[in-house]
Amino acid sequence: MGRDLARVLALWSGRGAWLLAGVIAAVLSTLAGVALLVLAGRVVAGAVAQGQPGAVALAGLGLGALLWLRPVMLFRPVARYLERLVTHEATFRALADMRVWFFTRLAARLPAGIGLRQAGDLLARLVADVESLDGLYLRVLVPAASALAVVVAVAVAVGAADPGLAAVLALPLAAALLLPVALAPVAARAGQAVARAQGGLRSAVIDPLSGIEDTLAANAEARASARVAAEGAALAAAQRDLARRAAWGGAAGSLLVQVALLGTLGWALVAGQSGLAAGLMGVFLAIAAAEALGLMPRAGAALAAAGAGARRLFDAADTPEPVPDPVAPAAVPTGHALRVSGLRFRWAADRPLVFDGLDLDLPEGARIALLGPSGVGKSTLAALLLKFAAPEGGRITLGGVDIATLPAAELRRRVTWLTQDARLFDDTIAANLRLAAPDAEDAALWAALDRAQVGDVVRALPDRLETLCGEGGLRFSGGQARRLALARTLLSPASVVILDEPAAGLDADTERAFLQTLDDAMGGRSVILIQHHLLGVEHPTRILRLAAGRAIPAAG
């Protein structure tokens, strides 16, 4: 856990100034609070002692304290306000960095999609786990720094007068300070259980809602609700367990502070007149310290939650990259002829080979039609051409350069792929299109929409290019969404385009019209057209059929 948290702090180092400023404000505010109670105590004790033999010094101290009372009284609220403001500001900045870092890491690691990791779980990771990290700073580091400052101040102030009393007072306080660290591993397990339960609940909610039509069609409402209720109950049990542990930690912490307070009183009773001044100060210090240390038991739970959150974040962020970029990338090729030779590939060691010695040649400007039944590996070939997966054997070259030696970003600037499930994002049509060409003018967007035969549909919408697509393009019919995705691909500057069932979901007339105009739409680019079958209007330069892991010339 320590290593994970150290790594979190390292990721936050860019916000070091904010974080440090927050800690300083917290220490000042806490010390001011302690000083306030001690000063008030001195004033009253001085008054009470007045007229008592040997208490002249105390009375004098009381008068001095009275003078200090007002500035400290005014300083404390300002320091406290600044502390809360600066610490929260620092946390939010650090957490924003963390979100971006995590997203970027995942983008490099899970390019082929969410796969077996559940989307619900990933959402839990980013939102909840990243947020649990704010506890590391706000509820662990800041209170710990304040409490430490109090313990040190107490030890120094009392230690100057009487080292023995300083030990009686400061040792239990120090123990209360360290208690959360000692309890953290146990609390961490409970914290992990809560985080797991929350992820489970979120998945139980997201899975049926993602497939809402299928859920309802199967009359599965009651089953889905029962699962949500069960996961909710599991979460409640985990939270109860965590709270119980936190309560134990809290009780132990407050008892240690009481030991310091009552121990000091006992010491003063035994010491009598000689230790009166030091004893009095000690008692008020102990009472004041209780407040600063009172936050520490919660720190244990927060530390545990942050540790658990950090573990899960790093677990996801540290999965190996499926295809790491080359350390010393080759020079970017000038041509874009694509050649595949002797390709061997399988998705996992225990799955059958998808390709076994596949050869394929795509000269510049050529248009290959790649046919075959579903599941034969047409889309897998596209994934390999774009380095979403690495071949087990064989070579793929672009313009004569092995793509294994090219950075993925350079490759994807030259080769693009309209996937079967190309998603539209919950944003405007324009924003969706500009993903492919961030600087494109509106005119270029309209041209692409027209070439994808969807320009008239968009023109008929009241908000036109600014129409929101809804999640996964839900606001459009399947065919319309497909054509919008196609328009996005057409905007890409890539010179090689892989079209994976570009006309799926289009009605027959539109499909035919679209495939007829494909040549114009593509300009001089090389095209790999993946289709179940040819309509006879595509005019490819070559037709290949995938079978038994190889590409075989076919007649159509």
Partner 1 sequence: MASIPAGAEAGAAALLKREARSERARLTTPILLGLGIAACGVAQALLIARLLATLLGRAEAGVADLAAAAALALLMAALAMAQERAQIAAGEDAKARLRAAAFARLLAAGPQDERAVGEKSALVVERIEALEGYFARWLPAAALAVLAPLLIAGAAALADPVSGLILLGAGLLVPIAQAISGIGAGVASRRQFAALQRLSGRFLDRMRGLPVLVLLNQQQAEASRLGAAAEELRARTMRVLRLAFISTGAMELIVGIALASLAYRHGHLVAGTHPAPVSALFTLLLVPVFFAPLRAFAGAYHEQLSARGAAADLAPLLAAHTPDGLLLEEVPPKVTVTFQDVRLTYDPSRPPALDGVSFRVLPGETLLLTGESGSGKTSILRILMGFRRPDGGRVAINGHDVTLLRPSELRRLCSYVGQRAHIFRGTIRDNIAFARPEADDAAILAAARAAQVTEFASDLPQGLDTLVGEGGFGLSGGQAQRVAVARAFLRDAPLVLLDEPTTHLDPGTEAVVLDALRRLCVGRTAIVATHARAARGYFGKVLQLSAGREAGDRMAGN
Of residues 431-460, those binding partner 1 (CB under 8 A): 435-436, 438, 457
Q: Binding marks (x or -) toward partner 1, 352..391, rule CB under 8 A?
A: x-------------------xxxx---x------x-x---
Considering only residues 2, 320, 331, 351, which one is a binding residue for partner 1 as defined by CB under 8 A? 351
Answer for the pair 167, 200: CB distance below 8 angstroms, yes or no. no
Min separation Cβ 438 and partner 1, Å: 7
Neighbouring-strand partners of residue 382: none
Q: How does 398-434 read in b/e, with b if 16+ C-beta sit within 10 Å? A: bbebebbebebebbbebbbbbbbebebeeebbbbbbb
* Contact status: 533 vs partner 1 (CB under 8 A): yes
Considering only residues 9, 11, 24, 126, which one is a binding residue for partner 1 as defined by CB under 8 A? 126
For partner 1, the closer CB: 192 or 198: 198
Q: Binding marks (x or -) toward partner 1, 401..430, rule CB under 8 A?
A: -------xx--xx--xx-xxxxxxxx----
Answer for the pair 68, 39: CB distance below 8 angstroms, yes or no. yes
* Contact status: 76 vs partner 1 (CB under 8 A): yes
Answer for the pair 398, 478: CB distance below 8 angstroms, yes or no. no
* Contact status: 332 vs partner 1 (CB under 8 A): no
Helices 276-294 and 16-49: angle between axes, nearest 10 degrees:
140
Which of the residues 294 through 323 are near partner 1 (CB under 8 A)? none
Let me know the angle formed at the C-alpha of 194 by 188 and 196, rounded to the nearest 5 degrees: 100
Which of the residues 128 through 157 are near partner 1 (CB under 8 A)? 128
Which of these ranges, 177-185, 280-288, 300-308, 397-405, lies near partner 1 under the rule CB under 8 A?
280-288
Q: Give the end-to-end CA distance of the chain in Å, rounded to a whole number.
A: 60
For partner 1, the closer CB: 77 or 393: 77
The 3-class secondary structure across 285-340, one letter per residue, is: HHHHHHHHHHCHHHHHHHHHHHHHHHHHHHHHHCCCCCCCCCCCCCCCCCCCCEEE
* Contact status: 161 vs partner 1 (CB under 8 A): no
For partner 1, the closer CB: 2 or 222: 222
Answer for the pair 180, 249: CB distance below 8 angstroms, yes or no. yes
Could you give the CA distance from residue 53 to residue 55 in angstroms, rounded to a whole number?
6
Considering only residues 315, 402, 442, 471, which one is a binding residue for partner 1 as defined by CB under 8 A? 471
Neighbouring-strand partners of residue 497: 416, 527
* Contact status: 41 vs partner 1 (CB under 8 A): yes
Which of these ranges, 49-57, 148-156, 163-171, 359-367, lies near partner 1 under the rule CB under 8 A?
49-57
Considering only residues 3, 14, 20, 44, which one is a binding residue for partner 1 as defined by CB under 8 A? 44
Considering only residues 16, 60, 164, 266, which one is a binding residue for partner 1 as defined by CB under 8 A? 266
The CA dihedral of 405, 410, 414, 415, to the nearest 10 degrees, is 70
